[in-house]
Amino acid sequence: MSDPALYPYFLGPYGENDGLLEQLLVEFLRDHVYWRRNLHPEDPPAIPTMARYRPDYQAFESRLRQQLHQLSAALKRSVPFHSQRYLGHMVSDLLLPGLAAQILTLPYNPNNVSEEAAPVTLDMEREAGMQLAAMVGYAVDPRQVPCAFGHLTSGGTSANLQALRLALSVKCYPVALRAAGLPGVELPGSDAEAFMLPMEQAIALFCAAEAWLAGQSPRERRIWRRRIDAERVEHLGLAGFLAAHPRLQTPVVLAPATAHYSWSKGMKLLGLGRAHLVQVAERDMRLDLDDLERRLADCAARGQPVLMAVGVLGSTEFGTIDPIDGLCEARDRWAARGLGFAVHVDAAWGGYLLSLLRNEDGTLRAADAVGREFERFPRPEVHAAMAAVARSDSVTIDPHKLGYLPYGAGAFLCRDRRPMELLAEFADYVFADSSALPGSRLQHLGRYEIEGSNPGAIAAAVCVTHRVLPLDAKHFGRIQAATLSATEAFEDLLTEWAPRLRERFAVVVPFRPDCNLLCIAINPAGNADIGRCNDFMQRLRRRLSIDPAAPKADRSFFGSTTTLRGEAMGQEAMAALLRRLGLEPPADAEDLESTRLTVLRHTLMNPFLLDEVNGINYLQRYLAWLEMILPEVECEWSSATATGSGVH
């Protein structure tokens, strides 16, 4: 079951590919030095060869070495993300192409804020964006409209913020056009109507206005542009913009209850306020389309504008996949009824799973073709949700999660690049040259991105990785396939394991995994109290979590926990789960809603969990180890809780 194609992909759990990495690093460090020497070979060395014999040189070197040794020693206390024993958070080994490309690029230190500071890696960032856009199914031919666009960010948080910013900009623009009284373009009849336009119509209006402006004399164009800009939310601020249009309300963002906290951060940063982040109920840990529908109907009835509906592809805590297809259908249906909003897919975690859905020529693989390799993946609704990402308005994907690349690599993608111009930091977004394609001036990325200076080395890492391992099922998809197979194997192991423990522990998988995250709930037999069960799990967690002070070898395995919440699971599902665990569900509906249950959370990202070379199944070993420590933890727990000194 382990895939030999993956052997050269990583440094390896044992550092197996050290020879390759070392060779590459030495080769390209030398190459960099030759580049320095050959820029102007007539310039002599400024640092004399004999400098190294100077006492101050030697003192410096000794201090440097001492500090590096200290750092290197301290780093041994790092979390062993590369190990098959690490089943905790969303990180694993790093792909060799990315690691090598990043280290190779570092001494050149390109800054992707603009082409001037990054003649090479800025193009690579644009390429990486388009590679990801093609993977999600967006159209990427710049001769066509719409054509997608993508750029890298520091992470998913910043990409989500960029999505909010773009949607807000597009939403407010038609209102600004009305306020400016732009002639020559057919404008919506009222502010409310302008504010409720579907994304596509708002973008069309923006393009029509730009086309009209392009036909004016430079002087006229300047005047009109100044008038429009004076009415834009970017100029007035959200408070000023709404004050200027008293009939408009702050738009809301609809997101599932377990959405990542970056959404709350984004609402605060944009001045939308957390009160306008509306939690859509979940059913079985996935966004509940019925509740979404109710909330949209409520917004429509109250004239409440909606900025965006967020769907999550691979939730941070549970790996569950929201019905993106249903979200896009809701958007289209409500657009026809005059309630326009954007659909954003937060695929920070699950984005790269989409590589499994692509053939080498970029076409979509049908569910049965994808499923041939697996026992259960992808369930039909999961395939439908993943295929529908192509119909969303924007997407967040983190190369530093399932892309196996170093931290500092997120990505923002949008299906239509034209409105990106609204984010430009200077308002000279003129399509004056009619041969210039919309969005063709996106080379000054720093004017559109939230970040200013940002590392070109990361862009090189992402782009080179995607070139070596194209984002299709034959290449990058193989890594994802290995992790999904491991998850299915883990599920199978659990169905044998749980009954064996029944006498002493109730073990339940609380919901079917959609991808490669799997949670397990455990309760000591005979315990009916939820609080005591959580206390037990906290004690178990301590055996699995990183102790910053301790050497790492004292942990046999590394895991993490999370909390299931009644409001996210739904009351019925929560009550059923509690009963299966032998726990007493609260009689009161309100109490059931607010029930919190701690569970083990396993991120199965390591591609070598099923090591057939040595005949080791690390998941089996993990369960054997759990089986060994569970009675110990129970012993500690029952004596502590009997004397009333529970952990809190």
Question: Other C-beta atoms within 10 Å of 217: how many?
Answer: 8
In the chain, count H helices and then E strands.
Answer: 21, 15
Closer Cβ to ligand PLP, 172 or 517, answer by number: 517
> Where does 43-198 have alpha helices with state H?
55-75, 96-105, 121-136, 156-180, 191-195
The 3-state DSSP composition of the chain as helix, strand, coil percent (nearest 5) reads: 50, 10, 40
Identify whether the C-beta of residue 135 lies closer than 8 Å to the C-beta of residue 480: no
Smallest distance from the beta carbon of 149 to ligand PLP, in angstroms?
Answer: 20
Tokens of 392: 């969303």
Of the residues 210, 346, 472, 514, which one makes contact with ligand PLP according to CB under 6 A: 346
Smallest distance from the beta carbon of 361 to ligand PLP, in angstroms?
Answer: 29
398 lies in the binding site for ligand PLP (CB under 6 A):
yes
Identify whether the C-beta of residue 339 lies closer than 8 Å to the C-beta of residue 196: yes
Q: Name the residue number minimizing CB distance to ligand PLP.
A: 156
Stretch that binds ligand PLP, among 150-158, 219-227, 297-305, 558-566 (CB under 6 A): 150-158
Stretch that binds ligand PLP, among 64-72, 244-252, 297-305, 346-354 (CB under 6 A): 346-354
Closer Cβ to ligand PLP, 247 or 268, answer by number: 268
348 lies in the binding site for ligand PLP (CB under 6 A):
yes
Give the torsion sign (CA, 165, 318, 349, 144): negative
User: In which element (H, E) is residue 593 found?
Assistant: helix 589-593
312 lies in the binding site for ligand PLP (CB under 6 A):
yes
Of the residues 2, 157, 162, 304, which one makes contact with ligand PLP according to CB under 6 A: 157
Identify whether the C-beta of residue 296 lies closer than 8 Å to the C-beta of residue 286: no
Nearest Cα neighbor of 335 from 345, 324, 343 is: 343
Stretch that binds ligand PLP, among 310-318, 327-335, 375-383, 552-560 (CB under 6 A): 310-318
Closer Cβ to ligand PLP, 139 or 450, answer by number: 450
258 lies in the binding site for ligand PLP (CB under 6 A):
no
Of the residues 150, 319, 410, 456, which one makes contact with ligand PLP according to CB under 6 A: 410
Q: What is the Cα–Cα distance from 209 to 30, expressed in whole angstroms?
A: 54
Of the residues 173, 349, 557, 622, which one makes contact with ligand PLP according to CB under 6 A: 349
Buried b (16+ CB within 10 A) or exposed e, 520-546: bbbbbeebeebebbbbbbbbbbebbeb
Closer Cβ to ligand PLP, 319 or 438, answer by number: 319
156 lies in the binding site for ligand PLP (CB under 6 A):
yes
405 lies in the binding site for ligand PLP (CB under 6 A):
no
Question: Other C-beta atoms within 10 Å of 56: how many?
Answer: 8
Stretch that binds ligand PLP, among 171-179, 294-302, 344-352, 598-606 (CB under 6 A): 344-352
Identify whether the C-beta of residue 98 lies closer than 8 Å to the C-beta of residue 458: no
Of 158-187, which residues contact ligand PLP (CB under 6 A)?
160
Stretch that binds ligand PLP, among 153-161, 362-370, 526-534, 601-609 (CB under 6 A): 153-161
155 lies in the binding site for ligand PLP (CB under 6 A):
yes
260 lies in the binding site for ligand PLP (CB under 6 A):
yes
Identify whether the C-beta of residue 191 lies closer than 8 Å to the C-beta of residue 248: yes
316 lies in the binding site for ligand PLP (CB under 6 A):
yes
Tokens of 69: 């040794």
Smallest distance from the beta carbon of 189 to ligand PLP, in angstroms?
Answer: 38
Q: What is the Cα–Cα distance from 515 to 318, expressed in whole angstroms?
A: 9
- Contact footprint for ligand PLP (CB under 6 A): 155-157, 160, 260, 262, 312, 315-316, 346, 348-349, 398, 410
